[in-house]
């Protein structure tokens, strides 16, 4: 809980700087890239979160690795996390940052998962139907999950609409097992 609060404060500060520079999207993408790069490499992750290594060494290494590839807001944010020994908050800061970004755009998060990529027309039609039904604007994120087999799974906040073939098969199996007992 305390880490989430701290991450929210860092994310709010980073978002404020990005908004002032009119770089909200770029900073968000670059924060995500840095976080994914660190999480995707076990050695880099170990280096980044190690309490044994000196802060100066971490700062130099991170600036050499990411400094010229990301905006200075992102570079300074990552260095600040190292200086304050808050490296483990990076993933949560990224999540909080994107939540602030969505809130600024006025859209509620909407995740659409299908077995195959939807055409732009199909996605637009689905989103328009959901926006009119729920009287909300959505910030849409799409995912492809071959395990869905077919159909669509929509996640809006804590509401799930599962109209995938896999979801229907799971429901059928659950009902069959419930009847057997």
**Each residue of 108-143: pLDDT tens digit?**
888 999 989 989 999 999 999 999 998 888 888 899
Element (H, E) at 164: strand 159-164
How much is the pLDDT for 181?
66
Greatest C-alpha distance within the chain: 64
pLDDT lower than 50: segments of the chain:
none
For each of the domains in the chain, give its residue range(s) and CATH number, in order of start: 2-103 (1.10.520.20), 107-180 (no CATH)
How much is the pLDDT for 88?
92
Element (H, E) at 82: helix 72-83
Distance between CA atoms of residues 81 and 78, nearest Å: 5
């Amino acid at each position: 809980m305390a880490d989430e609060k701290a991450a929210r404060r860092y994310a709010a500060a980073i978002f404020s700087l990005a908004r002032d520079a009119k770089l909200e999207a770029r900073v968000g993408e670059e924060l995500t890239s840095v976080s994914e790069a660190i999480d995707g490499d076990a050695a880099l992750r170990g280096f980044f979160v190690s309490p044994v290594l000196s802060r100066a060494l971490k700062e130099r290494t991170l600036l050499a690795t990411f400094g010229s590839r990301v905006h200075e807001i992102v570079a300074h944010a990552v260095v600040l996390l190292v200086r304050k020994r808050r490296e483990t908050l990076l993933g949560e800061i990224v999540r909080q940052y994107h939540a602030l970004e969505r809130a600024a755009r006025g859209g509620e998060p909407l995740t659409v998962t299908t077995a195959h990529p939807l055409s732009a027309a199909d996605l637009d039609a689905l989103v328009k139907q959901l926006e009119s039904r729920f009287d909300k604007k959505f910030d849409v994120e799409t995912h492809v999950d071959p395990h869905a087999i077919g159909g669509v799974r929509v996640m809006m906040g804590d509401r799930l609409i599962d109209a995938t073939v896999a979801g229907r098969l799971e429901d059928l199996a659950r009902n069959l097992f419930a009847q057997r007992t």
